[in-house]
A and B are shown apart, each in its own frame.
Chain A
Amino acid sequence: MIRPAFVEPVLDSQNCFRAVLEAMSRPGRVQRLTMALDAPAPLAPASAAVLLTLVDAETTLWLDAGAEAEGWIRFHAGCPLAAASDAAFLLATGTPPALASLSQGSDESPQDGATLVIQVESLEEGAGWHLTGPGIEKEHRLAVTGLPAGFVAERAKLARNYPRGVDVILCAGDRLAALPRTTRIEEG
């Protein structure tokens, strides 16, 4: 049996969208989702909610979450699946695909760059990375566990292609934070 999606599709997706918009506008600030959502493993509530909120028949999706999760999101969102290099949205529950292999958009249409949702183990404000860039008054700090070791360096390499790039949404349990392509990360 396919598990249900949002209990209140209209209000829950609005609620989740505002959390994502807030996360994208203030990179490194952790948002908490409050709606009930019983998504199939290995999907965390936050990553499942982000997909339900943003993905539909007009967007392509790549995910590595197994047959049940794939069936679940295809049933509820009706989205076509695509190879990682072509997908508009990607969900990585394991090791994410190489950032440079994803769609970056073009200089004229940088908005065609992919949105990559990565499921991580934990997200905490106030320690870890030092983030600067648009949306950040002085500096935000974000501690992330569960990302592959080379992630920050790999992402920094893409910065020179701006405005082309990839935007990242990090999800852990019912929490999420975002790293738009403009955010600079210093490890420390």
Chain B
Amino acid sequence: MSHDPGYNFAYLDENTKRMIRRTLLKAVAIPGHQVPFGAREMPLPYGWGTGGIQVTAAILGPRDVLKVIDQGADDTTNAVSIRRFFNRVAGVATTTRTPEATVIQTRHRIPEAVLTEQQILVYQVPMPEPLFRLEPRLTETRRMHALADYGLMHVKLYEDIARHGHVASAYNYPVMVQERYLMSPSPIPAFDNPKMHRMPALQLFGAGREKKIYAVPPYTAVRSLDFEDHPFRPHRADAPCALCGSRTSYLDEVVTDDRGGRMFVCSDTDYCETRQADQAERGEQAA
């Protein structure tokens, strides 16, 4: 496959790629630290994954196989558009199968399948600063990160527990990276947070509007904040998947009619479809 000759390979010009690549290397060298970069205007609006796309464009090569997911699904508008974009401007092969991909760009989920050392996970990040709801001044949050002064976040979690009896964050649940930097995991469900801990794959985070890149190298400690008497408890809907029966995957609630009917299905479409295909095959063999 070849790319559209009207564009440089992977859309970005070479100067921009070099700038992003330098930023990525420093981000990997300082796990969890947000490195500013000169985010470019992309042919889609902020909030649609411009940060993730720029990171992907800077790392992608012709031999890569790209998978793009949006909330776990390969077939939603955002995922389909980004996949087609890179197919056109880089001519790369695309896939929906998690094990076949070398680069996975994701919006707000980590795939259910365990990722390997051969893969890179690129997150689209709307707001990279975990402290922004508590302290809106970036000059202040920069200093708090410099001093590892994260008391404010602990107070917020404590107040959640005092008011609600539990930490009231089901997604974008703050983590400590290598016990040094407080980091936003992007709005993935808290259910996915434990997957970040010592993941064999490299994790890169791109925030286009906020112009920040950060990273978690492989096998790096990622701890969800909690208290001894209120340990971190990721939430999962208490039901099996209605399509594949999984009791361990993260579920979406789908409203099926206007009489209160609803079902729970896997958010990761590839995981769910693979399980359904395996079950059909086993059914055929048994018959």
A9: B residues at CB distance < 8 A:
14
Q: Does B211 contact A (CB under 8 A)?
A: no
**B14 touching A10, Cβ below 8 Å:** yes
* Of B22, B60, B180, B218, the contact of A54 (CB 8 Å cutoff): B22
Chain A residues, CB < 8 A from B147: 107
Assess whether A167 is in contact with B29, with CB atoms less than 8 Å apart: yes
**Do residues A180 and B21 form an inter-chain contact, with CB atoms below 8 A?**
no
Give Cα A25–Cα B33 distance, bound, in whole angstroms. 15
Contact B18 A134 (CB under 8 A): no
Please give the distance in Å from A81's CB to the nearest CB on chain B: 18
Residues of A contacting B180 with CB < 8 Å? Answer: 162-163
Stretch at the interface among B67-75, B138-146, B229-237, B275-283: B138-146
Contact in complex: A107, B146 (CB < 8 Å):
yes
Chain B's closest residue to A15 (CB) is: B61
Closest residue of chain A to B64 (Cβ to Cβ) is A18
Contact status B219-A108, CB under 8 Å:
no
What distance in Å separates the Cβ of B176 from its nearest Cβ neighbour in chain A? 13
State how many angstroms separate the Cβ of B165 from the closest Cβ of chain A: 35
The reply to whether the CB of B47 lies closer than 8 angstroms to some CB of chain A is no
* Cα–Cα, bound, A186→B243 (Å): 52
What residues of chain A lie closer than 8 Å to B35, measured between beta carbons? 111
Asked if A26 is an interface residue, CB under 8 A from chain B, the answer is: yes
Give the residues in chain B near A181, CB-CB below 8 Å: 29-30
Give Cα distance in the complex from A9 to B147, angstroms.
41
A111-B62 Cα distance, complex, nearest whole Å:
29
B21 touches A17 (CB 8 A): yes
A85 at the interface (CB under 8 A from B): no
| Given A13-B14, A58-B19: A20 in contact with B25 (beta carbons within 8 A) | yes
By the criterion CB–CB under 8 Å, are A167 and B61 in contact?
A: no
Q: Tell me, rounded to whole Å, the shortest Cβ–Cβ distance linking B246 to chain A.
A: 28
Chain B residues positioned under 8 Å from A182 (CB to CB) = 29-31, 178, 217
Q: Is the CB of A180 within 8 A of B15?
A: no
CB distance from A62 to the nearest CB of B (A): 16
A25 partner, pick from B23, B145, B218, beta carbons under 8 A: B218
Chain B residues lying within 8 Å of A26, measured Cβ to Cβ, are: 117, 217-218
Once the chains are docked, how many angstroms separate the CA of A119 from the CA of B202?
A: 26
Complex contacts, A180 vs chain B, CB 8 Å = 28-30, 217
Are B218 and A108 in contact (CB-based, < 8 A)?
no
Whether B28 lies near A10 (C-beta < 8 A) is no
Enumerate chain A residues within 8 angstroms of B8, measured Cβ to Cβ. 10
CB distance from B163 to the nearest CB of A (A): 33
The chain B residue with its CB closest to the CB of A89 is B22
* CB atoms of A134 and B22 under 8 A apart: no
Least CB distance from A73 to B in Å reads 14
Looking at the assembled complex, report how far the CB atom of B217 sits from the nearest CB atom of chain A, in whole angstroms: 4
A25 touches B14 (CB 8 A): no
A-to-B contact residues, CB < 8 Å: 9-11, 13-15, 17-18, 20-21, 24-26, 53-54, 56, 58-59, 106-108, 110-111, 113, 115, 134-137, 162-163, 165, 167, 180-182
Q: Provide a sorted-by-A list of 9 A–B residue pairs whose CB atoms are within 8 angstroms.
A: A11-B9, A21-B25, A21-B59, A24-B29, A54-B18, A54-B25, A56-B18, A108-B142, A135-B220
Binding site for A on B (CB under 8 A): 8-10, 14-15, 17-19, 21-31, 33, 35-36, 58-62, 117, 142-143, 145-147, 178, 180-181, 198, 200, 202, 217-220
For the A-B complex with A56-B15, A137-B200, A181-B29 known, give 8 more contacts whose Cβ atoms are closer than 8 Å: A13-B18, A24-B28, A25-B218, A26-B117, A113-B26, A134-B218, A135-B220, A167-B26
Closest 4 CB pairs of A and B: A180-B29, A107-B146, A111-B26, A135-B217
